[in-house]
A = this chain, B = another copy of it.
């Protein structure tokens, strides 16, 4: 039996939460192997010192620098995952792209098709708008045809994935009016690893509040992916992981189809989407790449309700990026990805 040689990958920005989660998932992957990891402020540190959770899996791995020499050394690497803060990818991807096989970006840098939205929502113009048209939006359940062989994949954000999986099929089917309320809650890891008073334990524990009122940057990405106007209110829930998007829309005139049927048809055969009349629970997705969705119509008021739960660091970030990388490589999308979640 011939032993398959493993495909080398690199993770840029591996000291953040999505980078660490990529390393956790890559440790389970049968075909990829981690060649290099980089980190802005932790270079030279052992991965297992910053994340003791990774000490047993990566005993000798050390963060390299994020500088130009380090990027040059990635030449020939098959897949580079960029788990960098927003804005950093657009600086390096133009130079990186010609030298490596494929880039999967986990930030917002290549998600919006309309470059004009960047200054409005992100505060500055895009530095390489010519690449936006080439980037494939990496939400396979919505549209996977561009993924095999793609050079540049923009994996969507966590809130966007949740709201889109719940609502996009209903909008596409014409079931609802295209003005949608997305009321969502996220675990604290969604805010990233950066030190902040708003994410201190004594601030967040036993607390629930809305943030980013009317101004959250994921809004235009949702509108693009769902194809409707969105009013979006994210909330912070006292938990590590998980996103629940509860979405509301008025029925389109004359439409009275069952929204759960629409979702069931849209996701038939999708290994990572569980459609059910159960109310989705974020905990059911902990550590897995699954998303759970439901929908129903209120017979009393006519409003349509659709809900999606997922793990923001897996299906909402690193798991989705790996699912896309599998598709890019032409492998089964499920390769090496956990279908089962931790319970409890």
Chain A interface (Cβ < 8 Å from any Cβ of B): 1-2, 17, 20-21, 23-24, 27-28, 30, 48-49, 51-58, 179, 181, 183, 185, 187-189, 193, 195-197, 199-211, 213-214, 229-231, 233, 235, 237-242, 244, 246, 248, 271-272, 274, 276, 278-288, 290, 292, 296, 298-301, 303, 305, 307, 309, 338-344
Q: How far is the CA of A200 from the CA of B197 in the complex (A)?
A: 8
Report the Cα distance A28→B340, complex, angstroms.
9
Number of copies: 4
Q: Which residues from chain B contact A282 at a C-beta distance below 8 Å?
A: 206-209
Q: A53-B343, A54-B343 are in contact. List 7 more A-B contacts (CB 8 A).
A: A27-B340, A185-B208, A188-B205, A205-B239, A209-B281, A235-B244, A248-B248
In the assembled complex, how far is the CB of residue A221 from the closest CB belonging to chain B, in whole angstroms?
A: 15
Contacts of A231 in B (CB 8 A): 248, 298, 301, 303, 305
Contact (Cβ within 8 A) A188 B201: yes
12 contacts between A and B (CB under 8 A): A27-B338, A48-B274, A53-B340, A56-B288, A58-B340, A181-B248, A185-B185, A187-B208, A195-B197, A206-B286, A208-B244, A209-B279
Contact flag A240-B55 (CB < 8 Å), given A183-B246, A235-B246, A343-B24:
no
Of the residues B51, B204, B288, contact of A343 by C-beta under 8 Å? B51
Q: Is the CB of B56 within 8 A of A271?
A: yes
- Shortest A331–chain B CB gap in Å is 15
Question: Measured between C-beta atoms, what is the minimum distance from A231 to chain B in Å?
Answer: 5
Shortest beta-carbon contacts, A-B, top 8: A53-B341, A207-B283, A202-B344, A52-B284, A57-B340, A57-B339, A53-B343, A183-B183
